[in-house]
Structure 1
Amino acid sequence: MFIRAYLRASTSEQDASRAREALETFADERGLRIAAWYVENESGSTLARPELFRLLKDSRAGDVLLVEQVDRLSRLTATDWDKLKAELATRQMRVVALDLPTSWMMATAGADAFTARMFEAINGMMLDMLAAVARKDFEDRRRRQAEGQSKAKAEGRYKGRPEDTKRNASIADMLARGMSWSQVQAATGCSRATVAKIAKRAA
């Protein structure tokens, strides 16, 4: 069994590695070792997350996917959450989240078969609930943001975030030289959505 830690932040301006210490402490307290780290700056509302799917590809049956909070794993729609759960089930991975105490025993193999199955069922229900809450929080924040922008526009106060022209020119140059989107992300620290926007503009 390997512990695979997943760290995610929504934008390149946020520190995706912020929760690393908390995950290390959790593992140390249980005598566990984190075998691999997967870090990315992508929205939790999309399944287009290269590092998450690299983690899944690397995994073996019984491995643990360790996250700080369920919303680091999912702010997905119900349909996409079901797709991700199916992928986790196919690979027989166990999800452990620091904000979900019912999942903690999934990080160890000490329970008998009956107890393990009971906790797996309970944990599954709790994961579904927290994933739904995370999605609602995402949608509520997007709605409030849109309302605020509409009000500011109506009052002539909204100008939007200024474009980082120097960075975007660098991204366009990298793409023109044949670098992959993942390589561009790694070099610039920008989100995949930003790379896609520049690529579309240059097409």
Structure 2
Amino acid sequence: MMYYGYHRVSTKEQNLDRGVKGIEDFCKQKNYPLQKIFLDKMSGKTFDRPRYTVLKEDVLRPGDTLILYELDRLGRNKKEIIDELRYYEDHDIRIMFLDIPTSTIDLSEESDSMNKLITDTINKVVIEIYAMQAETELQRKEKRQREGIEAKKARGEWDDYGRHRVMTPDEFAKQYKKVEQGKIGSLELMRQLKMKRSTYFKYVSEYKERHCYE
């Protein structure tokens, strides 16, 4: 029997230390001989992650135990989480989530079959609830991101495909009037605004469209 850990963070997060330390501390407390913790810095929207795939397909064997700091570190889609758990159950691989205490209870030595059944049932129900919460949280996050992008687009603060604008159309119009008035040339304005040539002339085109210029 081998003990392995897995932890994942999104690419926007700084590090994996909190989850790693949590798994290590738990194993020390329980005297579990932790072999290795596999780490990914990827979104939880997909299970196609390099280290997770290696762990699942090449490392874990029947009788092994997989430990995660939190259930949503496994994934963010309820159906896919349940499918993964079914895979581990079918392959006789135990999985523990440290944020779900019932999943860490050792039922192998439980003599009372009824207690064992009740605990196992409660554990599965709690896991389903946590999986649903993980999916709901992701959906809310994506909704907020979409609304934020749309709001920025409406204010003219968001350029093509999510790239942040160098400046708003009104700010550019104020600067571009100096070119129209012959005070400076386009090359000098590009230098002052620190714009690339393509970006500058894109803004010029937008400006002329707004002001009905040919």
For residue 116 of structure 1, report the CA deviation from its aligned partner.
4.2
Q: In the aligned structure 1, how far is the partner of 2:5 from the partner of 2:33?
A: 10
Q: In the aligned structure 2, how far is the partner of 1:145 from the partner of 1:50?
A: 26
- Residue identity opposite 2:47 in structure 1: L
- Could you list the structure 1 runs, at least 4 aligned residues long, displaced by more than 3 angstroms after superposition: 108-113, 115-118, 159-162
Structure 1 residue 111 and structure 2 residue 74: aligned?
no
Deviations 1:15-62 (A, max 9, x none): 234421111111111111211211111211112122222212211222
- Higher relative CO (CA 8 A, sep ≥ 6), structure 1 or 2? 1
Q: In the aligned structure 2, how far is the partner of 1:51 from the partner of 1:117?
A: 33
SS of residue in 2 equivalent to 1:99: coil
Q: In the aligned structure 2, how far is the partner of 1:33 from the partner of 1:112?
A: 25
Q: What's 1:40 paired with?
A: 40
Q: What's 1:59 paired with?
A: 60
Q: What's 2:142 paired with?
A: 142
Cα-Cα RMSD: 2.2
Deviations 1:126-166 (A, max 9, x none): 1111011101100110001100110011001224457xxxx
1:8 touches 1:17 (CA, 8 Å); kept in 2?
no
Q: What is the TM-score of this pair, normalised by structure 2? A: 0.67
Give 5+ residue unaligned stretches, structure 1.
Answer: 163-203
Q: What's 2:197 paired with?
A: none
SS of residue in 2 equivalent to 1:37: strand
Mapping of residues 35-184 of structure 1, within 5 Å: 35-57=35-57, 58-78=59-79, 80-106=80-106, 109-112=108-111, 114=113, 115-159=115-159, 160=162
Q: In the aligned structure 2, how far is the partner of 1:144 from the partner of 1:77?
A: 20
Deviations 1:62-111 (A, max 9, x none): 22111111000120242x234312321222122211110111214x8543
Q: Which has the larger radius of gyration?
A: 2
2:103 touches 2:123 (CA, 8 Å); kept in 1?
yes
In structure 2, do the counterparts of structure 1 residues 39 and 131 end up closer, same or farther at CA, with 3 Å as the change threshold?
A: same
- Residue identity opposite 1:152 in structure 2: K
- Residue identity opposite 1:27 in structure 2: C
Q: What's 2:3 paired with?
A: 3
Identity score, percent = 27
2:20 touches 2:37 (CA, 8 Å); kept in 1?
no
In structure 2, do the counterparts of structure 1 residues 33 and 117 end up closer, same or farther at CA, with 3 Å as the change threshold?
A: farther
Q: What is the TM-score of this pair, normalised by structure 1? A: 0.70
Mapping of residues 21-32 of structure 1, within 5 Å: 21-32=21-32
Give 5+ residue unaligned stretches, structure 2.
Answer: 165-214
